[in-house]
Amino acid sequence: MPSKRFEISLKRIEENEILGGKERADELRQKGETLSVTNRPTEPYQLPLWETEKRALPHPMTRSALFTPVARGKRKVSRNLELIASRPDTKILFSGEQLDIGDQDVFYQVIELAKQKGMGEFIRFNRAEFLRAIGRAAGKATYEWLHRSLDRLNFAQIKVETKRCLCAFHLIDKIIWETQTDDFILKVDNDVRSLFDEHQYGLIDWQKRKQIHGGKKDLAKFIQSYANSHKRGEEHKIKLHDLMVLAGRSLDSRLDMFRADVKIALVELKRLEIISETGRVTENDIVCFIPI
């Protein structure tokens, strides 16, 4: 059953009723600033044509706690929209079942298919072929896992406010499963495309991602997505505590345990040449890496 859509009128956008209400809109007007939302297109929108061996997600989705390394059986369910951790220049509200790194893999591939077809168009894919494309074997257990992941992406409600735009959407707008053919037919919400504007997205090497292994595989994938949202060849630094929060760890989590996990993940990313050999955690708990 299709999930309820956020229908955003232009009047509501102008008044900024989604995030902050009239007070927020008045504040922006006094500063001479405005929030803009890309109008919902009437025709399919063509995403940038990045290389077929790459996958892409917008920066707000990889610099926040939207997709995190959730421990098995530890998913949180938010019944109402709740603020999640993100960079200071972005505000994200989320409701639904917590999304993990497996869900991120699924959404990376969904976006790739939408890129080929056009954002706003229905895309069709065979579930076995889809699973192989994200590096998973086809079978009863993985079919059930894929169904659950797509359901999570469909029911999740997200509101994003950046300096460039204000938008509200479900990651997947509609899903149809044709049981006779084992094909899925789905559509990505058109409003997701506004987050790709002005090259505000990062590219990851898809084949290298599928080669990430080890006990801290999900954390390594999280860092890969975060790292590749930054300029290649330039060192990026982030406080270990800040990275821990973005990775979805609770504020009372042990920093020493997270430090050990990050060091293991960095070794794996260096092995695959996703980051340079200088990737490290310093003595004063700063995580440093250069995306390759």
Q: Pairing between strand 123-126 and 157-161?
A: unpaired
Q: DSSP of 87-116, one letter per residue?
A: -TT-EEEEEEEPEEHHHHHHHHHHHHHHHH
Contact call for residues 269 and 279 (beta carbons, < 8 A): yes
Q: What is the pLDDT of residue 278?
A: 97
Residue 222 region by backbone torsions, left for phi larger than 0, else alpha for psi between -120 and 50, else beta: alpha
Q: 3-state DSSP call for residue 45?
A: strand
Q: What is the pLDDT of residue 15?
A: 35
**DSSP 8-state symbol, 273:** T
> What is the CATH T-level fold of the domain 211-292, as seen in this structure?
Arc Repressor Mutant, subunit A (1.10.10)
Class of the CATH-defined domain 43-158+168-205: mainly alpha
Alpha helices by DSSP H, listed for 73-185, are 101-117, 127-133, 140-155
Q: What is the pLDDT of residue 212?
A: 98
Q: What is the pLDDT of residues 126-178, one digit of tens each?
A: 999 999 999 999 999 999 999 999 999 999 999 999 998 999 999 999 999 99
Q: Are domains 43-158+168-205 and 211-292 of this chain identical in fold?
A: yes
- Provide the residue ranges of all domains of the chain, joining segments of one domain with +: 43-158+168-205, 211-292
Q: What is the pLDDT of residue 1?
A: 40
Q: What is the pLDDT of residue 30?
A: 52
pTM: 0.85
pLDDT along the chain (292 residues), means of 10: 33 36 46 45 77 97 97 91 96 98 98 92 96 97 97 97 93 93 93 92 98 97 98 98 95 91 98 98 98 97
Q: What is the pLDDT of residue 74?
A: 86
